[in-house]
Chain A
Amino acid sequence: MAIEMLALVLGLTMLVALALGLWVSLALSAVAILGIVIATSVPVGTVMATTIWGKLNSWELTALPMFIWMGEILFRSRLSQDMFAGLAPWMRGLPGRLLHVNILGCTIFAAVSGSSAATTATIGRMSLPELSGRGYDPRIAIGTLAGSGTLGLLIPPSIILIVYGAATEQSIARLFIAGVLPGIMLAMLFMGFTAAWAVMNRDKMPAAEPVIPFAERIAATRRLLPVILLIVAVIGSIYAGLASPTEAAAVGVFCALVLSWLSGTLTKETFTDALLGATRTSCMIAFILAGAAFLTVAMGYTRIPRELASWISVMELSPYMLLAALTLFFIVLGCFLDGISIVVLTTSIILPMVQAAGIDPIWFGIFLVLVVEMSQITPPVGFNLFVIQGMTGRNIFQVALYALPFFGLLVVGTVLLVAFPEIALWLPETMLSNN
């Protein structure tokens, strides 16, 4: 079969299998089997079993369930309340006032959790009722939450960066550290926009509340300190080369349990729920990774990625053109697929082409996550939209409309990252240990 024909058949099979509602990991495996059977005469089943075993049996990947578990424990603790009470007093003086609690709260929770849905739910659970009660415009309150909830994907620990690192054999520690500055940059873009919006729409902001004395602010923030220390310890020890991501994550689980015990939220029930929740989420992601690993091997047999890479290099696109085309492609894909599926499909098929264009794979990981963040707030499939729909009862298209400015800011962030690759690459260069 000609390679173009094969690519078409496999692409269509993937599309049909996904659209019919076959589970993503199984759809990836089905296409992989088909590809190998058509293109070669190697024993498919043996390749499948050895690939899945070889790929998942990895020390680096054990960071995945540990970080998920840590987030699950903190999600069930008092963190949501503490976050609002601790941040709100500081934000009253800024233009945009308590709206910034959404953004900063999400940024902080993103640093203990790798999931954007959990980040959105944890912060929104407390901040949306509070903001509504105080008379903030719901459109901007929901928009800021939807936008900043996506930071959960980028700011380490990031589940999606672990998936990318495992699928492309890049150092997860370096990917984590590379995500720090772009995450802070996005948070600042979001805060700047919110402040500017508040200045221009004074009529939509509620009346100012009295400023709280400094000593009282400190007292209110006291309960947030342990979490901040936890973040510094986890990210700091990875940066300093003191701990591998897995070790930092296990210590994170331990500290999260202690914090949850101290705040009185650690019961037999919350412990079991968090553990089983982490087991299932980790299983779901690892199984997709297994399917993707098998698909990557199958794609290697079909030679499609290599052909694609040489086809692109013949076209002599500049890297900028290539990235612009990929961004558009991912945004469309992101309307229908979740972030992890986008990342694994990309790494099986598109990565050779990207590397052929001379793009740094660590940088590309960060770029990919930024684009995937956009997919979290694009209808009809956007996980942050689902979470917020659940919390507010407003349908996802409405929520997506409120989040539109933040979609725009993510595009701005992506352009900045392309123009100044150092935003992602500078910090990993300075890491004490380069493993």
Chain B
Amino acid sequence: MGKEMAQSMQVSNIQTTLDPVAFPVSSKPVVTAKTEAARWGWFPALVLLNSCALLIVSLGYTLNRMNVEWAAVLYWLSLIIIFVPTAYRLLSPSIARRERIGLIVALGLALYLVKILHSPVDFTFYDEFLHWNTANHILSTAHLFTPNPLLPVSSLYPGLEIITTALSNLSGFSVVTSGMVILGIARIAFMLGLYLFYERISSSPQIGGIAALLYTANSNFIFFDSQFSYESLSLPIAVTVLFLVAYSTTKATGKFLQHLLLMLPLIFVVAFTHHLTSYVMIGILFLWAIVALLKNYKSGEWIRVGMISMIALGITLGWSVYVGSTTSDYLAPVIRNSIAEISGLILDENSGRELFQGTNGQSSAVWERVVGIGAVAFILIILPFGIFEIVRSPFQQSPLGKKITLLRADLLQAWQRYRSNSAAFAFAIIVLFHPIMQSFRLTSAGWEIANRSSEFIFWAIAFVVTIGFFSLKSKAFLRPYWKVAFVVWASVVFIGGGISGWPPWARLPGSYLVSADTRSIEPQGIAAAKWAGEFLKPESLIGTDRINSLLVAIYGHQRPITHLADKTYLASVFFSPNFGDSERELINRVKANYLVVDERLSANLPLVGVYFEAGEPRDKYDDTPISLEALEKFRRINSISQPFDDGNIQIYDVSSIHVNP
């Protein structure tokens, strides 16, 4: 390792590995196979270390499945092993560009595998089932847009599912394996795109590497954006679009229209892969264009960015209006409820959400609370320095590059060349939304908005805090400890992101928990759903809870009844202690054929906050589980057959009710 480090230090003097556009070199140096290999620096060693960390996390998952209490320690240990050495190495100003890129890609892939190892056999995350259902519909019908009752909007934004089923059709792989492969490839591109984008707008490989590293600290990076869901694909594509915009609006890179042509497929696919990502991407592009207009009018950058923004807006609006017309029905209630709850909090009308506390009253460990809050505080402390540097320099007069003493002369020139960097300035504006979004975490409805915004706002935060941290390097009191301070700071932010993004019970696989998404997916429910697939007529209308809805759709090929698709809340049929006229009327209204009743629900409160779906007749502050008597009442009703029983799950045939109401 030491020898390779020394070699990589020598190689640093060559610097031919830089982007030739951002960092033009006057003469081509002689490159031998030995120096080519030396440029990899620590990369092979850190990849090996990452793989060992993955073995540790894998053991942690397995031990947690066996209810070993300290298994979570292995999970956190593995994350630290993956993150810390890479962070330390990327701080070095003298490593070759290929090593930086290699380390960033290896980091992204290792964190992707942390998720894959969590559920290595099948998809088990809630959102994954929603998109798995759309993919199954494409495979079974050979066409798109078959309505998906689990998430109607999913079938209207089928980008991920098209590519996954294409690979499935071509390779013979299942949807699960194809999805894992496609998202693995997308993750490589994501990390590459992030690095190239940050490098381009900062004109510094070092800043590019650190910013890409810090992006992985957003609370959704490890699990949410690694799952089989449309956002996991749309983010990498959107980042590539942003990079291409930065790349193409530089005159030196060639013909703008040719770049635009290459960008078009990406813009199209973002538009029909994920609504939210396309909206955010367009917002950033417009802000970028406006900043370019105000700050850098003469360069004409605003015209090029503005043109791309308009094209992206046209494509996205076109898709939203003509195909994804129900998107607003899906997104609006979440936003409306969040704003109402925030208003109530300000007006002291409600008490808000208890931080680090689950809906069943279970609190996170003290260390998790400290690190979680510490991560937010650490970001908020550094952000002002970054904003200040971007507004003040190098984008106006005094180049920040002069303070980054480790950058060499040609880098400083490049930095100055981009002193009117509109993208960086736009990011400085975007991070101002961060404190506002954090306030949403204080509400139940707004928590999702705050959490879901992190992967977008972190595009800006990662860049601005990197600039901020580099600006602090010039402070005399910090200089001797700068590297250590950065690694500790970044590690707290990274671990804090992991804590706030995913609840403790969902991070590691384990025994069955009530209404706990991934922790509720287990063989008994799957076996019951498969039985339904074998013995019930396909696409029978089935009323059931949140988890069994997923299972009967995927494993049973049945049609679950949901409020999103059927505009009827069926949950009260299950909650009611009696089976009276109103319950019969509800079943009759949706023409339900079967009810799947899982008596395990009565054992505990739902960990995700609901047993069935949002809007169920249960007070969120109610601390008593759904009653077993209510769930068992169907046994006593004349004319309701019960064709299936496995001890926990019963299936009732209620078709006689709408035949003879």
A and B: real partners? Answer: no
Residues of A within 8 A of B (CB): none
Chain B interface (Cβ < 8 Å from any Cβ of A): none
